[in-house]
Chain A
């Protein structure tokens, strides 16, 4: 369960004060699939980073699973990111010198899981995203879609309850994009909460709920049957 209450994120740039987020209050129940839309600079990524405990609000409260995130120290935050949250980035962020399998196993290294078990779990997870034949390949030898599926395998290896995807299909063609989205849908279907930041109405349409941000504020919430009409509602984005 994610609870955001009157969250502000403010940057001071010299004289100017920039509000990346203002007055964001939003409960997100477990297992929900939420898309976050809005133009560039509207605060989508800032919101995702705060939910992912990479950034913290200037004002307001953020509770994750009943815990006040502001009260956690750096080690506790690392622990939360390790066990509770899986990140998926637009540009994949794989470590180039490690193989696909090693990339997937990386969070388990930080968790101190013994090598034999790491290998077993990483192989099983790679198998689930259909990339076991590429286990020994480095990211440079994989296509964009394959890289993103490796990244998804890595994000899910610690069995987190919350997946955060920032433009997951932004660097992919339509076909590998829909493969990635199907994979995310499947994970959401298994009960994981899914937050997707996107420009693309076709990506947002898969969500249960869409939040539309403008200048750091949630200006619109689209739910239920209206979501499937997004393409017509937001044709201009």
Chain B
């Protein structure tokens, strides 16, 4: 019995019971669509978050006040238990040769106003290095000039959205605004960049770090971004930074993280999420598999006399097993293919509606779906097919009547 004979026989038998075939197909399709769209969503969320953090740059260390033993600390979310000062920033840059640039950051919120318009905004105090580290582009004007760290000049760079809301069509550069009650001159406008690391620079203003600290009424920096010389060992540099700050503060009260550590912990959390979601979806595939088994068992008992006949005509057990197994596998594979197509369509429609979430079914999920649907067909088809192959021909021939 050749493959094409088997195929024709199986397709023929499935076509005979169109409704039953379609219903069991539907079960598989629903399961597969669930797997595809849910893993796509999980993967989309993972990419969305990791993309955000990727913008930090792989050669940047981030130091923040407060001790945190775990690597999962979220930046810009912690409190400020101990001071991380401008002096710390300066000495790191001076004393650790592998640190190319030390960028202090202070963050606070303040009202930014011009004439009658007022907006609350995130005020980021930093240095010219901030632009380099974060790869910022200017829409107009210039970024912060190189000045002494302690000099709090009354100048401000506006985020694109703030600039548009306060100035509309007018050119903001050179114009005065009030930031937290202080009068400042706008020296530049940032080009739009969207949300990065939970920080929307479009909604922020950037001022010299000393100005930022004064506005926040604090001595401690919120963050310290440390650009490491290319080729240097990140972990070793991280240890040096921790040791230096330990010396300066007399205790280990600063957390230093690498982008890699943040990314990997976030990414693994989200991957677990994707797996959990895929697991739930896989349960529905299993249910579909049981549906296939049910259909095949009914099919075998309905065709008992046919099995008896095939045996009388000289079919071997193996041939009968293959006939029924192929039917089950065809059912589940067809369900898998239709499900993949439907799931892919659902994802496409979803991303068209929510373009900000880059939902794509991961390749492993696609292969898993094909494998699992083939597997369920085989697994749940074996029992009915085996039962058919083992039927006693005499009883089977009589069974039909």
Contact = CB atoms under 8 A, between A and B. Distances in A.
Given A74-B316, A78-B316, A97-B12, A54 B5 contact: no
B398 to A, nearest CB: 9
A74 B1 contact: no
Given A54-B394, A109-B1, A110-B1, A154 B313 contact: yes
Interface residues on A, range: 20 to 34
Nearest to B305: A93
A83 B317 contact: no
B2 interface: yes
Interface residues of B, number: 27
B312 A81 contact: yes
Given A54-B394, A81-B314, A95 B319 contact: no
Given A49-B394, A112-B1, A112-B2, A95 B316 contact: no
Contacts of A115: 5
Given A110-B319, A112-B1, A89 B313 contact: no
A106 B393 CA distance: 17
Interface in A78-116: 78-83, 85, 87, 89, 91, 93, 95, 97-98, 106-107, 109-112, 115
A158 interface: yes
A52 interface: yes
A121 B113 CA distance: 96
Interface string A56-85: 000000000000000000110011111101
B70 interface: no
Interface in A137-172: 154, 158
Interface of B: 1-2, 5, 9, 12-13, 15-16, 305-306, 308-319, 393-394, 397, 400-401
B311 A54 contact: yes
A75 B312 CA distance: 12
A52 B401 CA distance: 20
Nearest to A98: B12
A91 B401 contact: yes
A75 B16 contact: no
B313 A81 contact: yes
Given A54-B393, A54-B394, A89-B397, A79 B314 contact: yes
A93 B1 contact: no
Contact of B313 (A55, A97, A98, A107): A107
A78 B314 contact: yes
Contact of A95 (B306, B318, B394, B397): B306
A54 to B, nearest CB: 4
25 contacts: A54-B311, A54-B393, A54-B394, A55-B394, A74-B316, A75-B318, A78-B316, A81-B312, A81-B313, A81-B314, A82-B313, A83-B314, A85-B314, A89-B397, A91-B400, A91-B401, A93-B305, A93-B308, A93-B309, A93-B400, A97-B16, A98-B12, A110-B1, A110-B314, A115-B5
A111 B316 CA distance: 10
A82 B314 CA distance: 4
Contacts of A158: 314
Interface in A30-58: 49, 52, 54-55
Contacts of B314: 78-83, 85, 107, 110-111, 158
B143 to A, nearest CB: 78
Nearest to B4: A115
Contacts of A54: 311-312, 393-394, 397
Most buried by A among B9, B312, B313, B393: B313
A195 to B, nearest CB: 14
Contacts of B401: 91
Nearest to A49: B394
A95 B309 contact: yes
A87 B312 contact: yes
Most buried by A among B15, B308, B312: B312
A157 to B, nearest CB: 9
Contacts of A95: 306, 309
Contacts of B305: 93
Contacts of B310: 106, 110
B17 to A, nearest CB: 10
The 6 closest A-B pairs by CB, nearest first: A82-B314, A78-B316, A81-B314, A54-B393, A93-B309, A87-B312
Contacts of A110: 1, 310, 313-316, 319
A81 B13 contact: no
A78 B315 CA distance: 6
Given A110-B313, A112-B2, 11 more contacts: A49-B394, A55-B393, A74-B316, A75-B318, A78-B315, A79-B314, A81-B311, A82-B313, A83-B314, A93-B309, A107-B313
A106 B313 contact: yes
A93 B312 CA distance: 10
A74 B313 CA distance: 13
Contacts of B400: 91, 93
Contacts of A91: 400-401
Contacts of A97: 12-13, 15-16
A107 B401 CA distance: 23
Contacts of B2: 112
Contacts of B317: 74-75, 78
A80 B103 CA distance: 88
B185 to A, nearest CB: 87
